[in-house]
Chains A and B, each alone.
Chain A
């Protein structure tokens, strides 16, 4: 399972970075999404995968039956997904604004702030 996840993380990172290297800002945004999913999956996988044993305390007991899945990484991933959601929402608005203002989605056209003169 871990191997499969590792391969998946690799594929996600690779495709995310590939998309970010394209010139289109829409692809940049999609690349960022893939990258953030890859990072979430890394966090989730590296913390250890335990299948089918949620950390729920049975009625009357005071501890879940061992082995149980570590709840902390799940909480972390959930938080990271929420943050990723917020950031993505902002990025989409930004991409739309940039397209409206600059009139193109080609990154090469957006170099006016890099040169020596504005």
Chain B
């Protein structure tokens, strides 16, 4: 399906959607948002691109195999738990690191963020794996 309107709109929408997905990812934990919902929005961006254009150019834009994204995501999510294990906590016992960043105020980083980014990548990977497989052929 080649629609000029959709293609033109998609060009600008993809950027907005991806930005929004990262916003949702970082907003998570303390406020509504998080890796899963962010990942779905991110996957929607790529899916929209695949509908407006075609699958090969979507794969090129993605730049990485969906399988590889799943692997990296799982490694980050699972690895977040292993860090806690190494620190003598139970699996997924979350560790926090608080710091003051000039200009931003206090920020706290935790293994939870690593887990969430992992989930984000897995969700994008799985969704795209299925959508691109279905759309090909």
Binding site for B on A (CB under 8 A): 82, 86, 89-90, 92-93, 96, 100
Contact = CB atoms under 8 A, between A and B. Distances in A.
Main secondary structure of the interface of A (DSSP, over half): helix
List of 3 A-B pairs having minimum Cβ-Cβ separation, nearest first: A89-B130, A93-B133, A93-B130
A86 B40 CA distance: 12
A117 B65 CA distance: 41
B127 interface: yes
Nearest to A89: B130
B126 interface: yes
B36 interface: yes
B1 interface: no
Nearest to A90: B130
Interface residues of B, number: 7
A86 B133 CA distance: 14
Interface in B106-137: 126-127, 130, 133-134, 137
A90 B134 CA distance: 10
Contacts of B133: 93
A89 B126 contact: yes
Contacts of A96: 134
Given A82-B36, A90-B130, 7 more contacts: A86-B126, A89-B127, A89-B130, A92-B134, A93-B130, A93-B134, A96-B134
A28 to B, nearest CB: 17
